[in-house]
Every structure is written in structure tokens, then in C-alpha cells.
Chain A
Amino acid sequence: MIRLEKVSKRYKTKAGVRTVLDSVSMTFPKGRSVGILGMNGAGKSTLIRLIGDAEPADAGRITREGRVSWTLGYTGGFQQSLTARENARFVARIYGEDPGYIEAFTEAFSELGQYFDVPLKNYSAGMRSRFAFSVSFACDFDYYLVDEALETGDARYKEKFRRAFEERREQASVILVSHNEQTVRRNCDMAAILHDGKLELYEDLKEAMHQYKVLQTRQAA
């Protein structure tokens, strides 16, 4: 499981100090897929980066049991000037996996064909996320951290991807942040809302959706 204990995170901005997380405590149980909803600027990306240990918290403790993926999503993660093959081998090396296996799995699963040997900077957004998710599947994590995007590619690949993800969810968990209720509804079985530095967990997905709606209307008004 992943446990947050009184985790705080602040940023200094030109407009003053902004509190993204204010003493947040929460436990992400193993085998459950949790969606974290939050409006733009609520600090979703920061939260998932803290969970993934890509950034240190200012205060509090985060304990992780099991292998946690890097943050999957639109941004980042790879060297754009290198090919998918080279990036796959790089990821394998830093995670201590067999580069040959990771490379072969990724090549087959991503179905990028000849593009597998083309630098990532020449990829479309869809191809890029297809590659990112394929490598992370190859690594076999216990927790997959996802920032916004999950679906990727054309309809047929989407289906293959969805099935692979479903299979994996039986052993692995997903922690997904999104501003979009649909993404959470489709991929998660419980949800939390990040608002004003506080994280509220709802066992019931419907209840979370309702609260999020209320929040959105209040914010709009």
C-alpha cells in the first residue's frame, strides 16, 4: 500500500506562498484503483509527483510498499532525442530490469513498427503515450501512477490497451489524477477530491462524482 501521513507541500509563487497540500493523510489500499479529482490548478500533478517520489514533500511522510511506476501521462519521462528502443533500454537499466526483455516487450506491445527506431521528438502525442504505457507495462509495477491521460491511439489499439490494463488491475493498482469525471468513472473504483489543500476520499464513486459536481457549480458561481 501507499500511505501519506500529514504530507504538506507549498510553492512560492510571485503571488505569494501557495499551499498545494495541507497536512494530508490518506492510505491507498493495494488492489484498488483510486481516481483523484481536482480542478485546474488544484495541485493534482504535484500530488501524483509526490506519491511517485519525483519530488520531496515539505513535511510529513510517504511510505510505499511495492513497486511504484513513474508518473505516466502527457508530459515527460523520456529523452526526446533518443529512439523508443534506446529509451526502453534506459528505463530498464534504471529499474534494474533486463534491457533485452523490456525492449522486446515494449516493441511488441506498442505496435510502433518502424517508428520504434525513430527519435521520440518525431512522434505524435498518441504514439508517445502508447510508447510510455507500453514501457511501464513491461516493467510490471504494483502501482501505476497516471496523470490525466489513459486512453491512447486508435480504436483497435485502445481496446487492446484497455484489456491489458484490466488484466493488470487484478494484481496492480492505479492512482489516477484528472479533472475529468469520465476518465475517473471509467478507470477507477473509488475516488478522492483534491480541493484547497485537502484530500477527501469517497468509498462510493457516485458520491464522489456528486461532490465534485457541487464543487464545480460552487466554483462557477
Chain B
Amino acid sequence: MASDVTVDLKSAWADCMQALRTQARVIMALVLRETLSRYGQQKLGFLWAFLEPLLMVAVFATIITAARSGNPGGIPLVLFMMTGFVPFMMFRDPMNQMQGAISANKNLIGFPQVTTFDVIVARAILECSVLLLVFPIILCLAHMFGHRIEVENPLGVLAACLLLASLGTGMGFLFAALTPILPSTRQISSTLLGRPLFFSSGLFYTADSIPPPVRDWLLYNPILHMLELLRSEFFHEFESPHGDWRYATFWSLGVLTLGMLVHQSLRRRAIVGL
């Protein structure tokens, strides 16, 4: 009797490991395929990953320099921008790219081992790892071009980046599951969320520079907290009195959990909706 149970447990464990190995293999293959279709088909290839943030930083740094003098929070303007845009993209890009994951991969979901979860996660992995790679490279470039960069607490910066990526991934799961069922979700993510968040998350200002009544409202936005925290960990000369790790983490993990739960409960309908 007892040995039967052991054998049963053993084979269940083996089945479980086998399933995990298959899933890991599938996700890896999907990440490769996403990489190929994203970067393999244009002439400039992987350079695209750098062009957008660099261009944005250049444009906004120029505008702000022309509009006023002085550096936000005592931080050199270009570095201030870089520590706003690229981390913001760690939130935005997973959200945007994951949204279309199911419809873009509907053919591949016909393979029995490829699930909606796999195609969504593959995009999250690609987006997050590209930006985690792009961020230090851009900083090194800035360093080479004469902006002295000394990171106060690299692990703290990484933690803030992960909070942003996890928030974006959670939103990505949510939208990925909802879009096939409710196509209007696409407008919500781009119009209702994209632009307002871009301007209310402190990409080009510190929370402290905003007058108190407005600031109190803005501080409901968890991304503003994350960017404040990130810059506090990054620069010796800047310490935000507003960034709250607990508030940021609560949002980040909460949205990630919510997104995965919504995907889990809608995934069957999402396939039928294709």
C-alpha cells in the first residue's frame, strides 16, 4: 500500500517536472521567435531598442532646457530624463506588447503545447529583458559622452525597475486577456492610460516641484512613486520625501496578481474570441 503511494507520488512528480520542462522549452522558443520578428526583420535590427529612448531624452531635454533653467532635484537634466524614460518604458512596453500577444500568436496556439499564458509571458520576458539591457548600456553611453555617472545603490535601482516591470506585466496580462473579448480595451490602454500616465508619472519633474494639492493627487499614481524611489536610489544628490516602497510594491504585486487571475479565468473565452 505504502509503496503504491510512493510510486504514485514519484510519477506525479516526474509528470510535473516533464510538464515544466516542456513549458520552459515552449516559452524559450516563443521568446526567440518574438525576438526574430521584432528585431530580425529591419535593417537596423536591435538598434531600434535604443533609438526610441535616446530620441525621447534628446527631444525633452532640449525643450526643457529651452523653457527654463535649473536642473530638477539638482540632477543633471539628461540623466534625470534617462532615469525617467527608460524605467517608464519598463512599465509601458510590456503592457503594450503583451496586449496583442494572443491575436498575434493565434496560429501557434494551435500547437497543443503552446498556451495563451506562454505567448503572453514570452512577450513580457522579451520586453523586460531588452529594457534591463538597454538601460545600463544607455547609461554607459552617457558616461562615455561626459556625464559622470555614479549609481548610489544599484540594487535599489534594480528593485525599482522590477516594480515597474511587474506593474507593466500585470497590466499586460489584464489587457492580453481582455482585448480578444472586448476589442475596445485597446483604446483604453492607449488613450485613457498611455498619455495621462506619461505626463503624470514624473518623467520630467520631481514630485517635490509640484504644488501640494496637485501633488497629493499625483501621488496616487504608483509609477510616480517608483520613479521617485528609483532616482533616490540612483543619485547621491537626490532624496525623495514622497516615494513610498510599500505603496509601490502593493500596487505592483497587486496588479500582477490581478492580471494573472483575470487571464486565468478568461483564457478559454479569449481563444474562442479569435
On A, residues with C-beta under 8 Å from B are: 11, 49, 52-56, 68, 70-71, 75-82, 86, 90-91, 93-96
Q: Bound complex: CA of A204 vs CA of B272, how far in Å?
A: 36
Interface residue B268 (Cβ < 8 Å from any Cβ of A)? yes
Interface residue from B36, B105, B111 paired with A94 (Cβ < 8 Å): B111
A79 B107 Cβ-Cβ under 8 A: yes
Interface string of B247-274 (1 = CB under 8 A from A): 0000000000000000000001001100
A70 B110 Cβ-Cβ under 8 A: yes
Q: Bound complex: CA of A95 vs CA of B22, how far in Å?
A: 8
B26 A77 Cβ-Cβ under 8 A: no
Q: Bound complex: CA of A34 vs CA of B113, how far in Å?
A: 24
- Determine chain B's interface SS by DSSP, over half rule: helix
B107 A94 Cβ-Cβ under 8 A: no
With A78-B107, A93-B25, A94-B26: A52-B33 Cβ-Cβ less than 8 Å: no
Interface residue from B25, B106, B107, B114 paired with A96 (Cβ < 8 Å): B25
A71 B29 Cβ-Cβ under 8 A: no
Q: Bound complex: CA of A80 vs CA of B108, how far in Å?
A: 10
Shortest distance in angstroms between A30's beta carbon and chain B's nearest beta carbon? 19
A82 B112 Cβ-Cβ under 8 A: no
Contacts of A94 in B (CB 8 A): 25-26, 29, 111, 113-114
12 contacts between A and B (CB under 8 A): A11-B272, A52-B112, A53-B112, A56-B268, A76-B107, A79-B33, A79-B108, A82-B37, A94-B25, A94-B29, A96-B22, A96-B25
Q: A49-B110, A80-B107 are in contact. List 9 more A-B contacts (CB 8 A).
A: A55-B271, A71-B110, A75-B110, A76-B106, A77-B107, A82-B33, A90-B29, A94-B29, A94-B113
Please report which residues of chain B, range 19-46, place their CB below 8 angstroms from some CB of chain A when the two chains form the complex.
22, 25-26, 28-29, 32-33, 36-37, 41
B110 A77 Cβ-Cβ under 8 A: yes
Q: Bound complex: CA of A174 vs CA of B110, how far in Å?
A: 18
Please report which residues of chain B, range 127-152, place their CB below 8 angstroms from some CB of chain A when the two chains form the complex.
none
A76 B110 Cβ-Cβ under 8 A: yes
- Nearest CB in chain B to that of A81: its residue: B37
- Nearest CB in chain A to that of B34: its residue: A79
Contacts of B111 in A (CB 8 A): 54, 70, 77, 91, 94
The residue among B22, B107, B271 with the most chain A CB atoms within 10 A of its own CB is B107
With A56-B268, A96-B25: A90-B33 Cβ-Cβ less than 8 Å: yes
Contacts of B108 in A (CB 8 A): 77-79, 90
Shortest distance in angstroms between B120's beta carbon and chain A's nearest beta carbon? 16
- Nearest CB in chain A to that of B21: its residue: A96
Contacts of B114 in A (CB 8 A): 94
Interface string of B93-126 (1 = CB under 8 A from A): 0000000000001111111111000000000000
B110 A93 Cβ-Cβ under 8 A: no
A93 B107 Cβ-Cβ under 8 A: no
With A79-B37, A86-B36, A93-B28: A68-B22 Cβ-Cβ less than 8 Å: no
A70 B33 Cβ-Cβ under 8 A: no
B33 A86 Cβ-Cβ under 8 A: yes
A82 B36 Cβ-Cβ under 8 A: yes
Which 6 interchain pairs have the tightest Cβ spacing? Answer: A93-B29, A53-B112, A76-B110, A76-B107, A94-B26, A70-B111
Q: Bound complex: CA of A95 vs CA of B25, how far in Å?
A: 8
Contacts of A77 in B (CB 8 A): 107-108, 110-111
A54 B110 Cβ-Cβ under 8 A: yes
Q: Bound complex: CA of A205 vs CA of B236, how far in Å?
A: 82
Contacts of A96 in B (CB 8 A): 22, 25
Q: Bound complex: CA of A95 vs CA of B112, how far in Å?
A: 10
- Nearest CB in chain B to that of A52: its residue: B112
The residue among B106, B112, B268 with the most chain A CB atoms within 10 A of its own CB is B112
Contacts of B268 in A (CB 8 A): 56
- Nearest CB in chain A to that of B109: its residue: A54
Shortest distance in angstroms between A26's beta carbon and chain B's nearest beta carbon? 19
